[in-house]
Chain A
Amino acid sequence: MSDIINLTLSALINKIKKKELSSQEITNAYIARAEKSKDLNTYITTDFENAIEKAKKFDEKGNFDYKLPGIPIAVKDLFCTNNLKTTAGSKILSNFIPSYESTVTQHLWDEGAILLGKLNCDEFAMGSSNETSFFGNVESPVGKKVVPGGSSGGSASALAAKLTPTTIGTDTGGSIRQPASFTGTVGLKPTYGSCSRYGIVAFASSLDQAGPMTQDVSDAALMLDVISKYDTKDSTSVNFKRGDYFKSLSSNIKGKKIGIPKEYRVDGMAKEIESLWQDGITLLKKLGAKIIDISLPHTKYALPAYYIVAPAEASSNLARYDGVKYGYRSEGENLISMYENTRSEGFGDEVKRRIMIGTYVLSSGYYDAYYLKAQKIRRLIKNDFDEAYKSVDAILTPSTPSSAFKIGDKTDDPVSMYLNDIFTVPVNLSGLPAISIPAGKDKNNYPLGLQLIGKAFEEQNLLDISYSMEKELSFKNNLQDWWI
């Protein structure tokens, strides 16, 4: 059994296709490990009985040509799953059972995958440490009382602890890449418009994007093949020619031009992050890439602009939670007080803060000064990238300004928490694809990640570069299973 959980997704698929392993054996192995790993608090809802049933059915008459034949997968609890509770980590949706399936999860099941359950996340994906979830903190397998990052913290922790062979998360400001970096896993945020947003609990609609979180880069390519598809149910889904990402993977990156943005060398950045970045540059040179210094002058304005745009969209998206049609309701003496009590009791502190910020920046008299201003800054940030991409194919940066921190370390100061996303947020504002790959460790043995940012819709290029780097880096988490 220990062998099964140590296999990558692609290795598991090979074993299943060769009939060396059955879907039941694999599913049971992951369930058994999850049962022993409850202390990490990765799951909000498990669906193990159904998973075993589905695995049995797959072994009896499954289609082995599927891309994910009989593979059990747990997903972030932000994806609506038909007939299975979907909470978004919030009290206000703690009893919500969708009657439809998100497009992205449907793609997984259509390719033969089996749902294991729903993974913990920050409430409505608002957070960088998985400490805002109504269902409690998630612990990272990399260390006791260490945060897994957020908002896809349950996903990152479950993947790193080998409770699921792969998972999917969502990334609005770094929510796939930052937790991937904190847990020594691979996290890919595809170009905005690649993966359908239909059936994903909305946070900030112009920034939200689903993506794979995996053990290695080939697994990420494989998962992207499954979930990146045009969807008429999402009005911002883009109908572009998608690659055959897994099959086309190449580690030849000779001559590729990689930009190094000087603005990402921020004040107070840990020394080990700086040297990680330098090592990444040296490695890329060794692999035959050409390193070019570039400038993204508006980088420092990305985070402040994000904290106008994202809360503004959130305040509007979350207006639907009013206790009328679904979700938690608190009584009140009239309709308005019912709304106010429901929302006050149903939302946690961080969500309330962001709704209030959003409401304020959109309110009469402040719209131009804040929201319109932020949208203009957003244009400047995107222009910076457009300009840079005239001379480079991709950009290399650290994924985060520090390694994972302890639970409780940053909860008293929202701004210090927000600074975690300083390197990831510009990418969402510009709609670009980016990937975080594990590249080293800090003095506590906590993982550190490097981020590659690509041109819109050129995921293959990103995957190739990170694939070639991964081979040389040969990163290993070497977890001691202390939580079992």
Chain B
Amino acid sequence: MSIDLKTIKHIAKLSRISIDDKKAKELEKDLNSIFEFIEALNKVDTKKVDPLTSIVETSLKLRGDEVKTKNIREQILKNSPDENKDFFVVPKVVE
């Protein structure tokens, strides 16, 4: 199986990464060589095998839904790429 240029552009779109045609061609080459390597897995019969989803196979612990840190608006906003002191600002999304 090989991944074509159209698929590469589709994956880039899904990944929210803009790529030009040159980059897409590079990625086509790289991803195909990586997937060729990955295809080895098809040799293994896994019909009767359960997937391993986590190494720590215990159920997650419950905890009370309590506020532990308060008044940290300034801390949270200090790394915001936009200078606004009250909100995170993004380009307009509603016309």
| A contact residues vs B (CB 8 Å cutoff) | 95-97, 99, 192-193, 206, 232, 235-236, 238, 298, 300-301, 303-305, 307-308, 315, 319, 322-329, 331-341, 343-344, 347, 352-353, 355-357, 359-360, 363, 370, 372-380, 382, 413-415, 418, 430-431
Instruction: Scan residues 15-31 of chain B and give those whose CB is less than 8 A from a CB of chain A.
Output: 15-19, 27, 30-31
Which residue from A97, A235, A340, A343 sits with its C-beta under 8 Å from B79?
Answer: A97
Chain A: which residue is nearest B51 at the CB level? A375
Instruction: Please name all residues of chain A whose beta carbon is closer than 8 Å to the beta carbon of B65 when the two chains form the complex.
Output: none
Which residue from B7, B38, B81, B93 sits with its C-beta under 8 Å from A304?
Answer: B38
B43 CB to closest chain A CB (Å) equals 8
Q: Cα distance A91–B53 when bound, in Å?
A: 31
Q: What 0/1 readout, one digit per residue, does chain B (22-47) give for beta carbons within 8 Å of chain A?
A: 00000100110111011111101010
A425 CB to closest chain B CB (Å) equals 13
A360 CB to closest chain B CB (Å) equals 5
| A415, B14: Cβ atoms closer than 8 Å | no
| B81, A236: Cβ atoms closer than 8 Å | no
| B17, A377: Cβ atoms closer than 8 Å | no
Q: Cα distance A301–B40 when bound, in Å?
A: 7
A259 CB to closest chain B CB (Å) equals 20
Tell me the dominant secondary structure on chain B's binding face: loop
Which residue from A308, A357, A377 sits with its C-beta under 8 Å from B46?
Answer: A377
Tell me the dominant secondary structure on chain A's binding face: helix
Which residue from B27, B49, B52, B90 sits with its C-beta under 8 Å from A335?
Answer: B90
| A298, B44: Cβ atoms closer than 8 Å | yes
Q: Cα distance A236–B14 when bound, in Å?
A: 29
Report the interface size class on chain B: 35 or more
| A415, B44: Cβ atoms closer than 8 Å | no
Known: A193-B55, A343-B15, A356-B17. A335 touches B91 (CB 8 A): yes
User: Is residue B72 within 8 Å, beta carbon to beta carbon, of the partner chain?
Assistant: yes
Instruction: Please name all residues of chain B whose beta carbon is closer than 8 Å to the beta carbon of A328 when the two chains form the complex.
Output: 81
Q: What 0/1 readout, one digit per residue, does chain B (67-95) give for beta carbons within 8 Å of chain A?
A: 00000100110111110000010111100
| B60, A235: Cβ atoms closer than 8 Å | yes
Chain B: which residue is nearest A412 at the CB level? B30
User: Is residue B61 within 8 Å, beta carbon to beta carbon, of the partner chain?
Assistant: yes
Known: A304-B38, A334-B91, A376-B49. A359 touches B11 (CB 8 A): yes
Known: A235-B60, A304-B41. A353 touches B15 (CB 8 A): no
Q: Cα distance A377–B17 when bound, in Å?
A: 30
A407 CB to closest chain B CB (Å) equals 20
| B contact residues vs A (CB 8 Å cutoff) | 3, 7-8, 11-12, 14-19, 27, 30-31, 33-35, 37-42, 44, 46, 49-56, 60-61, 63, 72, 75-76, 78-82, 88, 90-93
A-B contact pairs, 24 of them (CB 8 A): A99-B72, A193-B56, A236-B56, A300-B40, A303-B37, A304-B41, A307-B34, A308-B41, A326-B81, A329-B82, A332-B91, A334-B92, A347-B17, A353-B31, A359-B14, A372-B51, A373-B46, A375-B52, A376-B50, A376-B52, A377-B41, A378-B51, A414-B33, A431-B56
Known: A301-B44, A334-B93, A353-B27. A344 touches B56 (CB 8 A): no
Known: A338-B91, A355-B15. A232 touches B30 (CB 8 A): no
Instruction: Please name all residues of chain B whose beta carbon is closer than 8 Å to the beta carbon of A413 when the two chains form the complex.
Output: 33
Instruction: Please name all residues of chain B whose beta carbon is closer than 8 Å to the beta carbon of A304 when the two chains form the complex.
Output: 37-41
| A308, B16: Cβ atoms closer than 8 Å | no
| A327, B81: Cβ atoms closer than 8 Å | yes
Which residue from B17, B40, B44 sits with its C-beta under 8 Å from A352?
Answer: B17
Instruction: Please name all residues of chain A whose beta carbon is closer than 8 Å to the beta carbon of B37 when the two chains form the complex.
Output: 303-304, 307, 415, 418
Q: Cα distance A339–B17 when bound, in Å?
A: 8
Instruction: Please name all residues of chain B whose beta carbon is closer than 8 Å to the beta carbon of A305 when the two chains form the complex.
Output: 41
Instruction: Please name all residues of chain B whose beta carbon is closer than 8 Å to the beta carbon of A308 when the two chains form the complex.
Output: 38, 41
Which residue from A192, A307, A343 sits with its C-beta under 8 Å from B38?
Answer: A307
Q: Cα distance A308–B7 when bound, in Å?
A: 17
Instruction: Please name all residues of chain B whose beta carbon is closer than 8 Å to the beta carbon of A236 when the two chains form the complex.
Output: 54-56
| B34, A357: Cβ atoms closer than 8 Å | yes
Instruction: Please name all residues of chain A whose beta carbon is closer than 8 Å to the beta carbon of B54 when the two chains form the complex.
Output: 206, 236
Instruction: Please name all residues of chain A whose beta carbon is closer than 8 Å to the beta carbon of B30 when the two chains form the complex.
Output: 353, 414
Instruction: Please name all residues of chain B whose beta carbon is closer than 8 Å to the beta carbon of A375 when the two chains form the complex.
Output: 51-53
Beyond A340-B17, A373-B46, A377-B44, 12 extra complex contacts between A and B, CB < 8 Å: A95-B79, A307-B38, A324-B80, A324-B81, A344-B18, A356-B27, A360-B31, A374-B41, A375-B53, A414-B33, A418-B34, A418-B37
| A326, B80: Cβ atoms closer than 8 Å | yes
Q: Cα distance A418–B46 when bound, in Å?
A: 24
Instruction: Please name all residues of chain A whose beta carbon is closer than 8 Å to the beta carbon of B8 when the two chains form the complex.
Output: 356
| A335, B93: Cβ atoms closer than 8 Å | yes
Which residue from B41, B49, B56 sits with its C-beta under 8 Å from A238?
Answer: B56
Instruction: Please name all residues of chain A whose beta carbon is closer than 8 Å to the beta carbon of B15 when the two chains form the complex.
Output: 315, 343, 352, 355-356, 359
A127 CB to closest chain B CB (Å) equals 14
Instruction: Please name all residues of chain B whose beta carbon is closer than 8 Å to the beta carbon of A96 when the two chains form the complex.
Output: 79
Instruction: Please name all residues of chain A whose beta carbon is closer than 8 Å to the beta carbon of B55 when the two chains form the complex.
Output: 192-193, 206, 236, 382, 430-431
Which residue from A331, A340, A431 sits with its C-beta under 8 Å from B18?
Answer: A340
